[in-house]
Chains A and B, each alone.
Chain A
């Protein structure tokens, strides 16, 4: 990996003396680069939460070394260390007797910021996380699960820490709210560029959120540590293959962009052209339809049937495509467009209706196999 290392774990082990209910970690090493989101994922008992908690010393390693920003965590005051690391847990743990504003202001107040600065920061954070100002005076038990979740993130971001630890932060809300929170958080991360260690048991969430995924197995060992795309393309072993699950190909489609694969030219004809041109284009690509493009502008499509008895393509009344994809669309969206369209291809357009080309099922399939 390029870039400077923000969090480093070197041969870290954790052994619990008795049945403390926490999972052990065995000789684990990983470097986490500044600004990336690393998701620790694995079955229960794989030590993913233990690993995360060793970074802010909620759990102390039995052996090995952990550094954050170059400093050994064991050589720092744990309280100071934690105040510089954002922490979000599944149940959030807002203080029930404090208002939302007071909860968000927890760490600034511990650091003795003056009241004006605290107030300003709370306003800023509620703006960033789209928390209604009216909520600030309420108490945690008066908020919905999704709102509480966002307050938890706001609280963790309060002093703008460079590192965030998140333990199943979106685990306690329903799927619809979860997806919205994930999207919102990805947007936020695009702007804030925090170094994030994110724990989840949900491989789909990991694929969605991660720059890199570490798949852990029972006993606290890493089975594979790679980008989501790589894990889906070439799982390191049977455990990873099984954990990632079926539909590996489909999941990869969601990660790949249309711009990443070669777009085909496709049959194209101008509206002024004679019917013969349209027939030639169709023959060339072995399709029974053809895109109608005028000065680069996509008008729709015509097929042999609609062309019957016409002199020019324009007479045949091009039918509009039901959906387009763009360079930024995922291959999954392109696939959806393919299976739902009459022409059985995805039309790629840019900047409104500028024709770029087409994507066929064969083309996508070839990309996945390679």
Chain B
């Protein structure tokens, strides 16, 4: 109980938030953490969404999509970070120590869920509906933009949510390779034997992950296509069991 009180007091101090000395404070750390995470996810999405759409629509290279998905799920985050840190230091990549190692690891981690969900979502759109659309004279692009993407949208957003939540949680490890973010509190707390710092950092990371999850939950609802004239919406993904790999 004493420790909880101490953590509470720590959170109540202005210097904890605004920083003092070499400590930049929680606000800066949260900013670092989120900006790194979101950029890594954004880059991954930018690169992987078109690939997922292509594979789902054409059904070519399906094996690659499935393999990357499975491979990604099996990879230990810490392991990737170790490798990227080794490579970036070996190559003498400029910039803040640990930044590129962390960024690269997070970027790689974000790829599998986005790719798998996009591919599965597009592939899951009813084949007869697509055939009818093609038979009516829709171009492949029109089939993708007017039919497949709207119907797969909830699943695609779910993939981005999975990636973001995982990346936000994993960004904590950046502190191990000397980068900042909220992981700093945990790593420094452990190193100095400062339980208040350790616990405070852990709480912050957990909260941030939950906020991310909730925010994307709202986005998913917005992305869901309307399938009924009733006020109550039917969410596409929940309508039938064939969708949803790891949602």
Assembly CA distance A96 to B225 (angstroms): 9
Q: Does chain A have a CB within 8 A of B214?
A: no
Residues in chain A near residue B147, CB distance under 8 A: 95
Number of residues of chain A lying within 8 A (CB) of chain B: 30
Q: Does chain A have a CB within 8 A of B94?
A: no
Q: Does chain B have a CB within 8 A of A112?
A: no
Q: Which of B5-13, B29-37, B103-111, B131-139 contacts A (4 or more CB under 8 A)?
A: B131-139
Near A by CB (< 8 A), chain B positions 125-150 give 126, 128-139, 142, 146-147, 150
Residues in chain B near residue A79, CB distance under 8 A: 137-139
Q: Does chain B have a CB within 8 A of A354?
A: no
Q: Does chain A have a CB within 8 A of B20?
A: no
The reply to whether A110 and B135 form a contact with Cβ atoms under 8 Å apart is no
The reply to whether A97 and B133 form a contact with Cβ atoms under 8 Å apart is no
Closest chain-B Cβ to A194's Cβ sits at a distance in Å of 16
Assembly CA distance A203 to B39 (angstroms): 63
CB nearest to A90 among chain B residues: B128
Closest chain-B Cβ to A122's Cβ sits at a distance in Å of 15
A142/B135 contact (C-beta < 8 A), A97-B151, A110-B142 known = no
Assembly CA distance A97 to B135 (angstroms): 19
Assembly CA distance A107 to B128 (angstroms): 17
A89/B128 contact (C-beta < 8 A), A97-B227, A99-B229, A141-B227 known = yes
Assembly CA distance A223 to B151 (angstroms): 44
Residues in chain B near residue A155, CB distance under 8 A: 136
Residues in chain A near residue B126, CB distance under 8 A: 93, 96
A138/B129 contact (C-beta < 8 A), A87-B136, A97-B150 known = no
Assembly CA distance A81 to B138 (angstroms): 11
Closest chain-B Cβ to A222's Cβ sits at a distance in Å of 24
The reply to whether B151 and A58 form a contact with Cβ atoms under 8 Å apart is no
Q: Which residue from A81, A93, A142, A156 sits with its C-beta under 8 Å from B133?
A: A93
Closest chain-A Cβ to B75's Cβ sits at a distance in Å of 35
Assembly CA distance A79 to B234 (angstroms): 33
Near B by CB (< 8 A), chain A positions 70-99 give 79-84, 87, 89, 91-97, 99
Residues in chain A near residue B146, CB distance under 8 A: 95
Q: Does chain A have a CB within 8 A of B226?
A: yes
Closest chain-A Cβ to B167's Cβ sits at a distance in Å of 30
Residues in chain B near residue A110, CB distance under 8 A: 136-138, 142
> Chain B 207-247 against A: per-residue CB contact (8 Å), 1 yes, 0 no?
00000000000000000011111000010100000000000
Closest chain-B Cβ to A107's Cβ sits at a distance in Å of 5
Q: Which residue from A97, A99, A107, A142 sits with its C-beta under 8 Å from B136?
A: A107
Closest chain-A Cβ to B93's Cβ sits at a distance in Å of 46
CB nearest to A141 among chain B residues: B227
Q: Does chain B have a CB within 8 A of A64?
A: no
The reply to whether A139 and B228 form a contact with Cβ atoms under 8 Å apart is yes
The reply to whether B150 and A82 form a contact with Cβ atoms under 8 Å apart is no
The reply to whether B135 and A96 form a contact with Cβ atoms under 8 Å apart is no
Residues in chain B near residue A50, CB distance under 8 A: none
Q: Could you list some 24 contacts between A and B, CB below 8 A?
A: A56-B135, A58-B131, A80-B137, A82-B135, A83-B136, A87-B132, A87-B135, A91-B128, A92-B128, A92-B132, A93-B129, A93-B130, A95-B146, A95-B147, A97-B150, A97-B227, A106-B133, A106-B136, A107-B136, A107-B137, A110-B137, A138-B229, A141-B228, A155-B136
Residues of chain B touching chain A, judged by Cβ–Cβ distance below 8 Å, are 126, 128-139, 142, 146-147, 150-151, 225-229, 234, 236
Residues of chain A touching chain B, judged by Cβ–Cβ distance below 8 Å, are 56, 58, 79-84, 87, 89, 91-97, 99, 106-107, 110, 137-139, 141-142, 152, 155-156, 165
Question: 9 shortest A-B CB distances, which residue pairs?
Answer: A93-B132, A83-B137, A82-B137, A97-B225, A87-B135, A91-B128, A93-B129, A93-B128, A138-B229
